[in-house]
Copies of this chain bind each other. A is one copy, B any other.
């Protein structure tokens, strides 16, 4: 397969919005998740993200990138106010509802109600998504301002797991195909997954 080299002098001439949507796809595929929060008045918020990143397992820590002053504002403000948020994996059956949470609803409107998903109380001030497959409850741990573009890398510590049978500890492999797991390319283009191959710890 032949390849073409593209330099910044070329891509700066592409229309900005189209370039952004295209570049986001080039970074690859990742699981979309719903992030559940509530504000001080108890109003729920739910928003779709695709920047979940493994930070560590001992203790379990999860990273996410937040864009300041944009669509994710409610999520960020809520989790800073309460200290808690949930990350909920999206099975294909609720894809349309999950994606619809990216619409700009007013802060006083719960996206659960707006899109038809069900909040389930956690032990802290952040709702799980009842229809999700795997969920995690997290507590805000630390954040880092990315100087290059004012985004925020935010790290949370896992405080509880909410698991269906195919994901409980003791299953050597978490079965994402059985869980109807999804991955997304860019902001809009969803894919399903099929198991290909489990490899072993590599030695020289």
Contact = CB atoms under 8 A, between A and B. Distances in A.
A164 B5 CA distance: 9
Interface stretch (A16-24, A37-45, A76-84): A16-24
Contacts of A192: 193-194, 196
B191 A161 contact: no
B103 A203 contact: yes
A146 interface: yes
Contact of A100 (B62, B102, B146, B202): B202
Contacts of A198: 188-190
A16 B58 CA distance: 8
Contacts of A16: 58
A106 to B, nearest CB: 8
A204 B103 contact: yes
Contacts of A54: 24, 27, 50-51, 65
A169 B19 contact: yes
Contacts of A89: 28
B114 A57 contact: no
Interface string A29-56: 1110100000000000000001111111
Given A11-B169, A30-B31, A23 B57 contact: yes
Contacts of A7: 159-160
B174 A25 contact: yes
A26 B133 CA distance: 10
B53 A51 contact: yes
A51 B27 CA distance: 11
9 contacts: A1-B165, A8-B159, A26-B163, A27-B54, A28-B30, A29-B29, A30-B31, A63-B153, A105-B204
Given A24-B54, A191-B194, 16 more contacts: A6-B168, A7-B159, A8-B59, A22-B171, A22-B174, A26-B134, A26-B174, A28-B52, A28-B181, A29-B31, A50-B54, A53-B53, A144-B153, A188-B200, A188-B201, A192-B196
